[in-house]
Structure 1
C-alpha cells in the first residue's frame, strides 16, 4: 500500500498513467482499438439484424460483449501489469490456459453481465408486453433504474479485484476487494467518477460535430473511429485508475487467503 493521495492528485495520476500506458503499450492498444471499434458496432447492429425479439437481441448483444472481453483480456492484463510492475509488453499474448487469464476474463464477463442485466430486464418487459411497451407506465422503470444502481455499486466495489488478479495478489478474492473498497468508499467513488467527466464531455462534443454528414460514408467511418477511440481511452483509464486504487487501498487483497 502507498499513502492515500488527495482526490486532485489522484486525478492527475489517472491522466498521466493513461498517457504513459498508451504510449508504452501502443501496439497492444492499436489492436484493442480495432477490436473495440468493430466489436462495439457489431454489438449494436448485429442483434437488430438477426432477430426482432427484444430478449433475443439482448442475449446476442451480451454474447458479443463477452466475446469482446475474451479478446481484450490480454490488453487489460498488460495495462495493469505495466502500471503496477513496470512490465512493458512486446506482443498481444493470448494465454487462455493460464489461471490468471481465466480469472480475469471471468471477472470481466461477470461485470459485463451485471452492466447489461438492467437492459435485459427492460427487454424482458418488452417481450412480455410488446403492445404496451411504448405506453406502459413507469411501474417497471423503477426496478430497471434500481438494477442499474445496484450493478454500478457492485462493480465499483469489485474494481480493485482486476489489478489484484493481474498481478497474482495473494488475497485476490471478491470478499477482500469489497472489504478494501468499503474502508475508503467515498475516496474510491470520487477517483473513479471524476476522471471520466472530461472524457464524456469530449465524446459528446465530437459526436455533435459529426452530425453534419449523417448517413454518409465519411460520417460512418469517422463515427466508427471516434467510437473506438473513446472506448479505448475510457477502458484504459478505468484500468489505470483501478491499478492505482489497488495500490492505495489494497490491504486485504495483499493478505494471503486462509
Structure 2
C-alpha cells in the first residue's frame, strides 16, 4: 500500500529468507489487487518499487525515507529495542511509528532515552490491501502535525485512516474485537458451541466473510494469546479461561493458518 504512489519502500529484516518471502507475497498482492480496485488517489496506474534492503543498510534506508514503521513480533522488549535503534539512526525529520496491535506508543517509549520523542506515533494496519483501515495514535509528546501528516499521507496511499484521539490499549477496533475474541473463547471453553457453529452463526448474522475463530487462526493463536495477556496486565477483572484455552491449543502445536491447524485445518 505504501508503494502504490510510486515511492520506494525499503523492507528491512535480518533474515534474507523473510525478505524473499515478503517480495513474493507483495507480487501476489499486486496481481490480486490492481490499482484500479483500490480506494484513494487513483491517478497512478503503476505500483511503485518495493526495494528489499538488508539489515546492514538500515541506516542508509532511513536517510532516504520520511517514515519508518516497526513491524516486529508483538513483544514489548523487542519493540522497544527496535524503536530505540530507529531513533538513533533516523534523521530528525523522519517520523518513527509502531505497528503494534496492543501496545500503545506511550508505553513503548516509556523510559527510553530518545533524541526526538515528539516524532513517534502508532500506525496500525490490518490486512492491506484487502482491509484498508489504519488507526493512527500519538503519545503525549507527539507533535500534532505528525498526526496530521500521517492522516493525509495514509489516505493518499489508499488507506482509510482513523484518528485514535486518546491513548487506548488496542486502539479502537481491536478493543471491540478483543471482547468478541474473549467471549468466543469462553463459549468454546464452556462447550456451548463448536468453532464451526460459532463462525457460521457469526457470518450469518453480521454478513461478514470470516467468523471469529477463522479470524484468530489468521492472526495466529500465539499472537492472540500475547495480546490477551497484555490486556490482562492492564485489566485485572478479565476472565482467565480464554487464555488457558489458548495455551492448551498452542501447547498442542495449533497456532492457526501458519502451523496448518488451529480451530480449523489448513493446507
Which TM-score band (shorter chain)? under 0.3
TM-score (ref. length: structure 2): 0.24
Structure showing greater relative contact order (alpha-carbon pairs closer than 8 Å, 6 or more residues apart): 1
Q: Greater helix share, 1 or 2? A: 1
